[in-house]
Amino acid sequence: MQISLTLQEIAARLGGHLLGDGAVSISRITTLDKAQAGEISFLTNSKYRSQLASTNASALILGEGDAGASDLPRIISDNPYAYFAKVSALLNPLLPVVSGIHATAVIGEGARIASSASIAATAVIGRNAVIGEDAVIGAGCCIGDNVVIGCRARLYPRVVIYHDCVIGDDLIAHSGAVIGSDGFGIAMDAGHWIKIPQVGRVVIGNAVEIGANTTIDRGALDDTVIEDGVKLDNQIQVAHNVRIGAHTAVAGCAGIAGSAVIGRYCRIGGGARILGHLQLADHVEVAADTLVGKSIREAGSYAAIFPFSKQEDWRKNAVHLRHLDEMVKRIKVLEQELELLKKREEK
């Protein structure tokens, strides 16, 4: 299925200011250096500006400051990156959902599946689960008893949602994601760990995306909560009783420990770790691979990355990290002795 739109049609649907020939036909979106005739490209990062002169694209999406930087047919937007996303969505629509339940799917007693929903082969839906309109449950997904999934959910193959979890509309969940597994709750008793039952749920708002092999544990007593618009990349671990505020984005491999509360519009870098019971304010950015070991009360960017170097240089430098305190004491002694010398000299 190949969609073609004129530049004018695109601008009519998505807004923006059209400059040049609106009749040019567009069927693909791509980068400046790879674009060919019939394709639209975009400039969202000034370091690629020089490619404007040589691109073979038939049209461009440009920011307001770049309106005059090319003579090609172009749409000017105050947010060219979002505009690019919208054009790409126009040109690459989701495949239409084929409603119905595959013959090999297994549907639990009392489950209510919207007639417009699609349940793929070998999916297993628990008792009394509710699947909303136009939802797509991919092959091999396992949806637990009493789970509620909203409209237009799109679960790729092999997503697991444990019993009792509640999910809003427009969920996207990628393969291998696990929602509602037990939190890591154990108590030591006479030399043995006892399991603490995890009786909370995972409650997920609207328009959340969950990446491949990401795990979100159910709460121990209360719920784990993922608010509206949260975007989670792949391989993220969200522990029990975490709350992630609306529109926060978390990059791959990050880990958020139990009962941490993350604000709204935060951006957590790849591989970052947020320790348990901490609170992060709204609009906090955490750099990749940074461990956050205490609460952050103030919006802003935070980091803790050890700069890499050649192995031999690293070795030479890193060895001193075990002696920093001693170094500081040596500096202090130097300062005191120098002060003494200066005083004596002044006499």
Residues annotated as catalytic (active site), given as ranges: 240
- For residue 209, give every residue at least 6 positions away whose Cβ sits within 8 Å of its Cβ, in sequence order, or none: 171, 172, 173, 174, 230, 231, 232
Helix (H) / strand (E) element for 311: namely helix 311-318
Cα–Cα distance measured from residue 26 to residue 11, given in angstroms and rounded to the nearest whole number: 12
150 binding a second copy? (CB under 8 A): no
Residue 292 C-beta: closest distance to a second copy, Å: 6
With a CB cutoff of 8 Å and minimum separation 6, the contacts of 260 are: 239, 242, 243, 274, 275, 276, 277, 278, 279, 280
Beta strands 209-210 and 231-232: pairing type?
A: parallel
Q: Does 63 bind a second copy (CB under 8 A)?
A: no
Assess 84 for contact with a second copy (CB under 8 A).
Answer: yes
From the list 18-26, 57-65, 109-117, 294-302, the region that binds a second copy by CB under 8 A is 294-302
Q: Residue 332 Cβ, how far from a second copy at the closest point, in Å?
A: 9
Under the binding rule (CB under 8 A), the answer on residue 37 touching a second copy is no
Restricted to residues 162-221, the positions that interact with a second copy (CB under 8 A) are: 162, 172, 174-176, 178, 181-182, 184-189, 191-197, 199, 207, 209, 211-213, 215, 217, 221
Candidate residues 1, 109, 319, 347; the one interacting with a second copy per rule CB under 8 A: 319
State whether residue 10 is helix, strand or coil. helix
Closest CB 336 distance from a second copy, rounded Å: 10
100 lines the binding site for a second copy (CB under 8 A): no
The residue from 115, 307, 343, 347 that contacts a second copy (CB under 8 A) is 307
Contacts with 99 (C-beta within 8 Å, 6 or more apart), sequence order: 115, 116, 117, 118
Among 20, 24, 289, 295, binds a second copy (CB under 8 A): 289
Stretch of 1-9, 56-64, 128-136, 307-315 contacting a second copy, by CB under 8 A: 307-315
Residues with Cβ < 8 Å from 122, sequence gap 6 or more? 102, 104, 105, 106, 139, 140
Burial class (CB in 10 A: 0-12, 13-18, 19+), 299: middle
Kindly state whether residue 320 participates in binding a second copy, applying the rule CB under 8 A: yes
100 neighbors 33 (Cβ within 8 angstroms): no
Contact status: 285 vs a second copy (CB under 8 A):
yes
Which one, 69 or 139, has the nearer CB to a second copy? 139
Pick the piece of the chain touching a second copy (CB under 8 A) from 5-13, 50-58, 110-118, 295-303.
295-303
Q: What residues pair up with 249 in beta bridges, in sequence order?
A: 231, 267
Q: Which of residues 257-276 bind a second copy (CB under 8 A)?
A: 257, 270-271, 273, 275
Interaction of residue 2 with a second copy, rule CB under 8 A: no
User: Which listed range, 15-23, 57-65, 75-83, 129-137, lies at the site for a second copy (CB under 8 A)?
Assistant: 75-83
Instruction: Kindly state whether residue 281 participates in binding a second copy, applying the rule CB under 8 A.
Output: no
Could you tell me how many residues of this chain bind a second copy (CB under 8 A)? 124
Residue type, 134: D
301 binds a second copy (CB under 8 A): yes
For a second copy, the binding residue among 247, 282, 283, 295 (CB under 8 A) is: 247
Q: What is the maximal distance between C-alpha atoms in the chain?
A: 99
Q: What residue type is 89 in one-letter code?
A: A
Measured CA to CA, the distance from residue 219 to residue 212 in angstroms comes to 21
Q: Does position 121 bind a second copy by CB under 8 A?
A: yes
Q: Is 109 in the site for a second copy (CB under 8 A)?
A: no
CA distance 31 to 131: 38
Q: Token pair of 195, please?
A: 């399991």
